[in-house]
Chain A
Amino acid sequence: MLVGKKESTMDRVNRGLARRYRRERWFRLFGLSAIVTSVCFIGLLFVSIGANGWSAFQQTEILLDIHFDTEQFDVDNLSTANYGALVKNSMQTLFPDVAGRSEKRELSKLVSSGAPYILQKMVMQDTGIIGSSQKIWLPADDEVDMFQKGYILRDVMEGDRRLSDKQIGWIDQLFAEGRLEKKFNSTFFTAGDSREPELAGIRGAVAGSLFTLAVTLVLSFPIGVATAVYLEEFAPRNRWTDLVEVNINNLAAVPSIVFGLLGLAVFLNVFGMPRSAPLVGGLVLTLMTLPTIIIASRASLKSVPPSIREAALGVGASKMQAITHHILPLAMPGMMTGTIIGMAQALGETAPLLMIGMVAFIVDVPTAVTDPATVLPVQIYLWADSPERAFVERTSAAIMVLLAFLISMNAMAVFLRRKFERRW
């Protein structure tokens, strides 16, 4: 190496090396911090929803000694018996000192207004209990529940909380006697919607979501796959197929409310289908998920190596045999992944359902695709807007259920991909 000679490439590389390493470190750090930030946000979301919602899985119940007085019941007409009086009487026997109309009213308000209907159901199921005395756990009113869970504070002025000092005294007494307990809130999973938080459940919304998704799946999967197969395997490449392709990609980006308006105009107004039905919801969501499924299916058809196609044709298979025996099975994992992701998207939609009347108060759990129904995200929206404080935790709990569905659907997509995917 001679002095004065121009520096070699190595020198220049070495000189810049530290800087390049530094830059790479920053580059990596930048990516890492992006991930950390998003994980933090997701964590925050989960923690806040979990913290708000976990208490909804428990419900305060009151143990009452109900005496099914024979005189109260007319054997031929069990539904007309005064079940409210049974609850009131048993509360009265627990607190014999309570007198006066307004005080009695306050006392009976501690028990949920749905309690009489629970007794009615019990009697209807088994008339044998008439005449006997039973110890029964009945749901407490939502205010009592909120008080037990610490959402209504004891140390605020009496006029500022929804429970009076007397009521709190009774609650404390019941608690001391072991007649007041927080139990697993099974109502939340078995009941339809209700305006009384302690009686409200998500079963109606879950059933509605399942019906809607079933219709969506049954329609969008075959149509989507057939479209993808035709476009990928049969269609000639010309201006028309280009136009179709561009439009499919455009449809994938159309805001979902537009599909709702379309559904209102076509399915309800032209075809005269019933409002608020999962059938119509499913049709609308089909329109919304089709582009996703078609795009994913085409991508997975494209990823099947041409050698498979050619080999099948080469040994004398018809084009249809090549597709159904070889290409489709190989492309299926990708198609199913796309479908599941599309379904998960459809599960979380509310906007298009607003237009076709699925944002509604529905108590009865739907049993068919034409029954009026609502869906999980709509239920969350409706509860979030309710004034009763107990609906706050129920909103979060319903979000947890929705998230559980979404996570398990996405996990299934990952599972299917892992299990059936073939690498070439």
Chain B
Amino acid sequence: MPEEKNNTDFAPLTKLFMAITASVAALCTINLYALAILAGLEMIAAAVMDGGRVLWKGISILAVFAVILAGIQLLFITPLFLSVGSAYKMFIMAVSLFILVATTPTQAITAALVKQCRLPYDYAFMITAVLRFVPDLLKESKEVREAQSCRGFHPSRDPLRRIIDYMMIIKPMVFKAISRSENMAISLTLRGFSGKNKRTFMAATKLCGSDYIIMLVNLFICIAVVKYF
């Protein structure tokens, strides 16, 4: 992989392609060496893309998770190489995707999905909008929780009861979301969301030479793994 590249230089489609080829390759082999090499290549890719601390923290969580998965399988008397193999697979697939998500703005991912993968814009819009509202609603859920605790709400020790009690938090949030959805729909209409004009996308999705090279390299690795291992 060329050294001078950083995350802004790869098009989102390229990263998507990398994630898919890595996953397909991992899926199609049970050879532990091949899997180890794939995982190694992914680590290099992660280093090159420079996703910062978030990326590495996520990868380490996934690594722990993979070890646990292997442990569970050993408990069920699965052969060692199979257990390690599926832990590798899980790790490779999850990391490939995580690299994409951690190093690419959602606006760029959705632009790529619409322009290059032909996803209708309505759905791409929903993806970015969901992610935009998550932090706000998280804050709101805290406020609702506080408001309810001031009326004597406190989670019960009984786990089943806890879930039922939790409706106290969920209901106000869902009700508010439903009332809000009308304002949001009106606002979208006013902002030309369903207009007939051809839409512009500000996010960069264009592929350049290096993107094609990376994709070819990936395809090559993927085919090699599928064919020879």
**A and B bound?**
no
Task: Spell out B's residues near A (CB within 8 Å).
Answer: none
